[in-house]
Amino acid sequence: MSTRKTSLTDKQAKNGTSKYSLERCASVNEYYDVAFKVMLLGDSSVGKTCVLVRFKDGAFLGGNFIATVGIDFRNKVVDIDNLKVKLQIWDTAGQERFRSVTHAYYRDAQALLLLYDITSKLSFDNIRAWLTEVHEYAQKDVVIMLLGNKADMAAERVVKTEDGERLAKEYGVPFMETSAKTGVNVELAFLAIGKELKHRATQQQNEPKFQIHDYIEAQKHKSGCCGHM
């Protein structure tokens, strides 16, 4: 596996923290009922690593940008409907030169979070190319969610929320804007994916199908947030 598990550690080191390896060991034996693999995809610097760190640790990796090399992963166990669900989250390098490495992991993923940066038109335009790759390499029934990240950077925004919504609708995937910096919608994105996967895995025949779009909208209203920031 041509991974460099130090990629995040480098980022952490830049930020003066080094707790990751300890956490990883501590979580090895954490109890769970069911496990799913989730992959983060999108252009380099859209914020994949930061979104993952926000979800895992509730922290923001600010400072200098250090690109992920190859692929890295983190686990988090979350409670979903009284079940311990382990999300094994693969953080891929967005840079073109690592594409062949990441292709090898697509087929094992049960869900894909596809990110763009709301301050980068190019990263948004490239989403179609990412979706083409997804259709080529991923499982047919993979769960996909589109995330417009860096929603805190309102002054630099170049991609409108409606454009993200329109694209998501075109591909029939759920959408929300997130911020790894403020944390907005990050947990919701992972929990919605976890719920969808858990329902798929445990659903009884006569049970109503879980509606991920409805769940996301209901949670946004519950939190009193517009859901776009």
Instruction: Map the footprint of ligand GTP across residues 54-83, applying CB under 6 A.
Output: 61-62, 65, 67-68
Choosing from 88, 95, 126, 139, the residue that interacts with ligand GTP (CB under 6 A) is: 95
Using the rule CB under 6 A, is 219 a contact of ligand GTP?
A: no
In sequence order, the β-bridge partners of residue 62 are none
Choosing from 38, 41, 50, 143, the residue that interacts with ligand GTP (CB under 6 A) is: 50
- Least distance in Å: CB of 201 to ligand GTP? 28
CB 34 within 8 A of CB 81: no
Nearer to ligand GTP, 85 or 191 (CB): 191
- Least distance in Å: CB of 221 to ligand GTP? 22
SS3 78: strand
CA 104 to chain centre: 18
Q: In what order do the strands lie in the sheet with 71-80?
A: 71-80, 83-92, 34-41, 111-117, 143-149, 175-177
Size of the site for ligand GTP (CB under 6 A): 22
Tell me the C-alpha distance between 70 and 117, whole Å. 20
Measured CA to CA in angstroms, residue 60 lies from 77, 164, 180, 213 at distances of 20, 24, 6, 27
Using the rule CB under 6 A, is 93 a contact of ligand GTP?
A: yes
Using the rule CB under 6 A, is 49 a contact of ligand GTP?
A: yes
Choosing from 6, 9, 45, 126, the residue that interacts with ligand GTP (CB under 6 A) is: 45
Nearer to ligand GTP, 81 or 156 (CB): 156
CB 229 within 8 A of CB 179: yes
- Least distance in Å: CB of 207 to ligand GTP? 36
Q: Which are the contacts of 158, defined by CB distance < 8 A and separation ≥ 6?
A: 118, 119, 120, 121
SS3 21: helix
Using the rule CB under 6 A, is 86 a contact of ligand GTP?
A: no
Using the rule CB under 6 A, is 94 a contact of ligand GTP?
A: yes
- Least distance in Å: CB of 178 to ligand GTP? 7
Binding site for ligand GTP (CB under 6 A): 44-50, 61-62, 65, 67-68, 93-95, 149-150, 152-153, 179-181
